[in-house]
Structure 1
Amino acid sequence: MKCVALNARFLRADVLEGYGNYVHEIFKRLVLQHPETNFIFIFDRPYDEAFITGSNVIPLVITPAARHALSFKYWYDVKVPLALRKYSPDVLVQPYGFASLTSKIPQLLVVHDLAFKHHPSFIPKHHLYYYRYFTPRFLKKVQSIVTVSEFSKADIAQHYPFAAAKTTVVYNAAKPGFQPLVFAERQAIKTQYANGCEYFLFVGGIHPRKNLLNLLKAFTIFKKWQKSNMKLLVVGRLAWQYNDIIEKLDSYKHREDVVLLDYVSDAVLQNVMAAAYALIYPSFFEGFGVPVIEAMQSGTPVICSNTGSLPEIAGNAALLAAPDDVKELAQQMQLIYKDEIKRNQLIDAGRLQAAKFSWEASAESFWEVMQQLTKK
């Protein structure tokens, strides 16, 4: 391939979360591995130079920024195709579930999940309409589709059977910086963030799908049963529909035991993850669930939901609970707190499970999909 165009809208240094991290980890490897290929990184706002990871990357800012349904259409269907005419890329990679319906460039669409099909109340209304109306049109338009788990691949095939034959799984992974800490380092992190106490960790944006409210209810039950000084650290930015969560947290019985850290850097998250007693990931729905693998690679045991892709990603290396069953979630928290043998078994199994996912393998698979696309 001589030229690959990448929609890089989500490469933002201040909020590099799931979608953006997936793109960054894969493409920084592809840029280095394929110096013979030019990569056009398309931004809709000023970009951070840190994302321009090679001399073969051509940054291209196309305004106005895409912020709502009408601007999405204008940016994807008018501005981007016009701007790419002089480059004639072999492939246009669309990593965020949206594609251009007008471009004649072969497109690879990444669909992380179909959350809007399963939990529409968790999606802002203007986005929900856009997903419902345009997703089948995007899936028909593009030549190839990548998703991040076998669960999501089957989900796409169930709702859009015509898309099944052109869908490939390319997994997420954890960064190398997620690794165990020695005892003294863990103690220092606990002193810094949890007043020297052990703590459960929640990682994810503050919005209904991540299920923080039910975790707080389960934490209350756990506290009632154990009378421990265990803390709960919450790492994640305020995303959407978070007002109810914040209001309830203000009057929460164990508010003094809950620490809100907001969005943090990778370095901080890696330390907080490795020092946690356990990661609690009770999300209602995930296409992958990266924090599960990050915790396992860090030597931290995991309790997660039994829904969506999470049983697939966690394998036999986590305790599972129904996301709407707060008592079951509390029971798993109690089990991991009381049974040190079980906790150590989960840590060992988690390291083996995390080793199944690597960004190097994912980048290689992604490149193969793009190569196949150019041959169609």
Structure 2
Amino acid sequence: MRVGVDARVLSAQVQRAGVAQYIAEILRDGEDVSDVAVTALSYEQEQCRVGKVPIDVIRLVPGVPWQSVLLPSHLVRKRFDVVHGPAFSIPPSFWVKRVVTVHDVAFMRMPHTVRADTVHYLQRVVKYAVHHAAAIIVPSHEVETDLVKLWPKTASRIRVIPLGADRLAHVSPTSGYRLDAPYFLHIGTIEPRKNLTFLLEAFAYAVKDGHLPHHLVLAGARGWNNEDFWEALRQSPVANRVHVLGYVDDSQSVQLYQDAAVYVQPSHYEGFGLGALEALWFGVPTVASPTGAVRDVHVAGLQVVETRDVAVWAHAMQLATSLSRAGVRDALPTWRETRRLHYALYREVAQT
């Protein structure tokens, strides 16, 4: 059985985050599954190289749409059985079964937190995808609920497949960034959905009220629509304790997780929230808002706290500093299981 995975996001993102990390992980080790032959599909090769998974390069042609013309033609010509759109969209096709992954519906639930061009694009392609895909993958039960509310007829085709927490298990830490003081850590793009202005307030309250020596480390791309965050940082009474690192690679992320005292994720909305699960895998006590994957796991060291009250969140952060690292890896989802469930779904779709 031949399965093609649209891997264009890997070509577009030199700094892999979120969806790109997901695509790379579902392609990894695919060669070990003897009855399912997975191929990455893109318009270039180098950035899409993951393990031993073969890559079909479908060259760009000026004036000819890649997804709606070049990709469907290639799928038929090469006799693919299933095509997986892992980034919200699928190509038109009457001959190849289609699977789509919808990571979240922020573009519908809170479009003001998403760039306007992205909102327009996702509202169009996701509506088409969920109506025409044979199966719809979502990373959490929250996204499943969101989709069913928006499009009730999708319910029978949705499969909840959590992302793995162990992506960095075999990555060696870098020695590039070290902080002498204990610190709270957040890894994620600086954008409105992450609620980082609230985090600055809660951090200031926690360290002042609790007389804590902790700092706050924020790692991740600079993002968009974040003027309120930068203004709040300028005005913060503890701005000298806040360290904004920008994008960090996997080795740097491992170092940050290993050294962090507490991981914090106050997001308004997450489809999954990979940072919190990865932090828990490293045993880091974690405080998170009740959205995404943290609603689906129940492990020691995790506090799930609403973000309605700064003082309540600050108290949770203070409490977390007194917790020791917990060994909860066995209770967390793994990428091996994530891949197994993807391959099982490919088989199911191909046989229907």
Instruction: Settle same-fold status: TM greater than 0.5.
Output: yes
Letter in 2 for 1:18: G
- Distance between the aligned counterparts of 1:252 and 1:103, measured in 2? 56
Aligned with 1:358 (options 325, 334, 337)? 334
Matched position secondary structure for 1:193: coil
Q: For the Cα contact (< 8 Å) 1:101–1:138, is it kept in 2? A: no
For the structure 1 residues 52 and 166, does the alpha-carbon distance in structure 2 shift closer, same or farther, using more than 3 Å as the test?
A: same
Q: How does 1:212-223 map to 2 (within 5 A)?
A: 212-223=196-207
Distance 1:158 1:233, change over 3 A: same
Q: Percent identity?
A: 23
User: Residue 18 of structure 1 corresponds to which residue in structure 2?
Assistant: 18
Kept in 1: contact 2:177–2:252 (CA 8 A): no
The amino acid of 1:304's aligned partner reads A
Q: Once superposed, what is the RMSD of the aligned Cα atoms?
A: 2.8
CA distance in 1, matches of 2:50, 2:210: 50
Say whether the 8 Å CA contact 2:299–2:331 is kept in structure 1: no
For residues 365 and 197 of structure 1, what CA distance do their matches in structure 2 show? 41
Matches within 5 A, 1:328-339: 328-337=312-321
Counterpart Cα distance in 1 of 2:125 and 2:33? 34
TM-score for the superposition, normalised by structure 2: 0.90
1:114 aligns with one of 105, 126, 130:
105
Rounded Cα–Cα distance in structure 1 between residues aligned with 2:203 and 2:167: 31
- Within-5 A mapping of 1:280-295: 280-295=264-279
Offset at 1:256? 1.3
Q: Determine the C-alpha separation between the residues in 1 that align with 2:61 and 2:15.
A: 20
Q: Give distance in 1, aligned partners of 2:299 and 2:343.
A: 27
Say which is worse superposed, 38-47 or 257-266, in terms of deviation: 38-47
Q: Which residue of 2 aligns with 1:142?
A: 133
Counterpart of 1:85 in 2: which secondary structure? helix
Residue 79 of structure 1 is matched in structure 2 by: 70
1:100 to 91, 100, 117: 91
Comparing 222-231 and 365-374, the one that deviates more: 222-231
C-alpha contact (below 8 Å) 2:23/2:86 kept by paired residues? yes
Q: How far off its partner does 1:116 sit?
A: 1.9
Report deviation, 1:93. 0.6
In the TM superposition, what are the counterparts of 1:105-254 in structure 2 within 5 Å?
105-175=96-166, 177-178=168-169, 192-194=177-179, 196-254=180-238
Letter in 1 for 2:339: A
Residue 51 of structure 2 aligns to which amino acid in structure 1? Answer: T
Report the Cα offset of residue 86 of structure 1. 2.1
Tell me the CA shift for residue 266 of structure 1: 0.9
**Alignment length (residue pairs):** 351
Post-superposition Cα deviations, 1:106-152, rounded to whole Å, max 9, x if no partner, equal 11101112122221111112222233344232111111111112222
Rounded Cα–Cα distance in structure 2 between residues aligned with 1:8 and 1:324: 39
Q: Alpha-carbon deviation of 1:103?
A: 5.5
Moved more, 79-88 or 199-208: 79-88
Distance 1:159 1:267, change over 3 A: same
Match of 1:206, SS?
Answer: coil
Contact persistence 2:139–2:293 (CA under 8 A): no
- Per-residue CA distance 1:163-215 (angstroms, 9 max, x = gap): 11111111101236449x9xxx9xx97x9532x11000011111010111110
Q: Look up the match of 1:5.
A: 4
Equivalent of 1:372, from 343, 348, 352? 348
Report deviation, 1:307. Answer: 3.2
SS of equivalent to 1:246 = helix
**Higher share in helix:** 1
Moved over 6 A (4+): none
Shift of 1:241: 1.4
The residue type equivalent to 2:19 in the other structure is Y
Looking at structure 2, the residues matched to 314 and 132 of structure 1 have their Cα atoms a distance apart, in angstroms, of 33
Is the 8 Å Cα contact of residues 202 and 314 (structure 2) preserved in structure 1? yes
Cα distance change of structure 1 residues 335 and 317 upon mapping to structure 2, 3 Å threshold: closer
Relative distance call for 1:307 and 1:148 in structure 2 (3 A) is: closer
- Aligned-pair CA distance for 1:290: 1.2
Unpaired runs of at least 5, structure 2: none
**Distance in 2 of aligned mates of 1:266 and 1:214:** 27
Partner of 1:68: none
